Chain A
């Protein structure tokens, strides 16, 4: 039922769909590794999508848009950090608050600025990220098998896609090969020990939350300025939650995060391409494909396939012993 070209197209779609999930998943990874649960990935992406779309529309520069998206997302991260780290509030509640704040504010501000019912004007020209053609893509196109793979699948994405994939080894290196990473992981496992060693728990957690904001900002900007040409209300459509599920599926590890988001992206791409999949007489409805990421996560959480152990100090505000 699938020829080579179709498979390439499905994988191409997988890459596009997995990119925002991957960025958001890595964002959550930094935050949760440092002991700050972040259910507000969705809200941060949404805010970033709006501000990147809005600023890109006003200035005509997609790079300014990206910066604005990152700034908005990081600002929401700051609110989350303030509530969860400084004031030791409940991290889940603060995360939900971020989601609500973003869902409401984006539409209200968009309506006030553009009067188009909570959307930004369509972005044109330099206000959007355009596909990057990798070197030699055209010349190598004719090479059998590898040529089309290079041309269709690897080349022709926007710069943010390559950035997202580059973030995976970078995250691994940062978390597991640097002092900063060791400390960041330690504040999520045993903050008291870090504190005893004279390293600031609060500082490290804020740093993690800030990185989370940065990555969510890129994810949101990718949705509004690369995949689409503008912001539409609620355009993240639950991708932040799927990223959270992917994070659990990945057991809070960068390379696993890549494979789990690619898997979830692939499931979505398949569901988009085939409405109902006929597997030898058994028809798999598209709804099942849509639900599969969540089902897989539940299976993982239930301990059927390995065990997902969250960072030990996750969700707990750090209180110095007196």
Chain B
């Protein structure tokens, strides 16, 4: 550290120490934005739940560019916020750099593993949830062809796809799954027009249930599916209400629970890896008044049974990220 940096650091610490008396937790939203109807919104809901129950206060920021990641992290840490929760795998490398500089601050990262003594890494077994909605898709499909539309082509999204295919095959071994990724750049998370076109292309190939794991692009997928009169499956948050009667179900990642738990634990939060799966309520699928007419008792029964089997370890769903291959196509 140069003298200048030290000096600046000291000034910053001095300036911020006034507000540091209370250790409010902080939440950093990724580029998708706080109200993405999906991942980040779930995190926000968890924080709001904590706020409503405890009457506490939390600080938050919505990132607008990649460059702000480290800045936002350091600013919250300097300001004495504790713990600091961030949503998204993209924080991984930045957090690995920043965490050692603030050994007394607790960090929690969602969707990524960062190995540091003051970091809690929350990862989800998305493949398990995708397996369940895959089963439901196969059972709801009349054509025997279902679709998957991913956002950016990254291992995490392949994990969704792989779990989904396994679930489809479990319910109907003869079913065909058409898989598409929207793109290979972050723009793939916000291109509903392309998502809609992909959906139409899949429909023309016979798909009548489409699962979208694509952030903002998924809005276009659900829209196109509703327009064309087929079923879709939402992701992360409960998206059933977006098109009542047209969304078969939603694969829910209980990011809200993860954020809520972390905020509840406060500064005593246990570091380490925290796996959220079906077994501990971290993953589930949505059933509400919007999709109830679409679900038959037989469908629900076998899906709940599969969920139980996965929870007890009777059925294992292959995790794409464990070896970067998928046994089912």
Contact = CB atoms under 8 A, between A and B. Distances in A.
Interface in B30-83: 33-37, 40-41
A237 B200 contact: no
B105 interface: no
B242 A9 contact: no
B242 A287 contact: no
Interface in A183-201: none
Given A17-B197, A235-B191, A275 B223 contact: no
A107 B196 CA distance: 21
Interface stretch (B133-141, B178-186, B314-322): B178-186
A118 B184 contact: no
B184 A287 contact: yes
Contacts of A16: 197
A233 interface: yes
Contacts of A119: 35, 216, 219
| Residue from A5, A17, A117, A228 having most chain B Cβ neighbours under 10 A | A117
Interface string A92-136: 000000000000000100010001111100100000000000000
A44 B41 CA distance: 29
Q: How big is the A interface, by class?
A: 20 to 34
A232 interface: yes
B33 A233 contact: yes
Interface string A212-242: 0000000000010001111011110110000
A122 B190 contact: no
Interface in A231-276: 232-235, 237-238, 268-269, 272-273, 275
A89 to B, nearest CB: 25
B223 A223 contact: no
B169 interface: no
A316 interface: no
Contacts of B194: 237, 268, 272
A9 B207 CA distance: 14
A122 B242 contact: yes
A6 B197 contact: no
Contacts, number: 79
A116 B34 CA distance: 8
Interface string B160-204: 000000000000000000011101100100111110111011001
A118 B183 contact: no
Contact of B190 (A227, A234, A287): A234
A237 B190 contact: yes
Nearest to A239: B193
Given A9-B204, A232-B219, A234-B190, A272 B180 contact: yes
B43 to A, nearest CB: 12
A59 to B, nearest CB: 20
B197 A237 contact: no
A237 B35 contact: no
A275 B180 contact: yes
B192 A269 contact: no
Contact of B34 (A117, A228, A273): A117
Interface in A122-167: 122
Of A13, A234, A272, chain B has the most CB atoms within 10 Å of the CB of A272
A286 B196 CA distance: 18
Contacts of B181: 275, 286
Contact of B216 (A5, A6, A232, A290): A232
9 contacts: A6-B204, A9-B201, A9-B204, A118-B33, A228-B219, A237-B187, A237-B190, A238-B187, A272-B194
Interface of A: 5-6, 9, 13, 16-17, 107, 111, 115-119, 122, 223, 227-230, 232-235, 237-238, 268-269, 272-273, 275, 286-287, 290
Given A117-B34, A287-B184, 9 more contacts: A13-B197, A17-B197, A116-B35, A117-B35, A118-B33, A223-B193, A232-B220, A233-B190, A233-B216
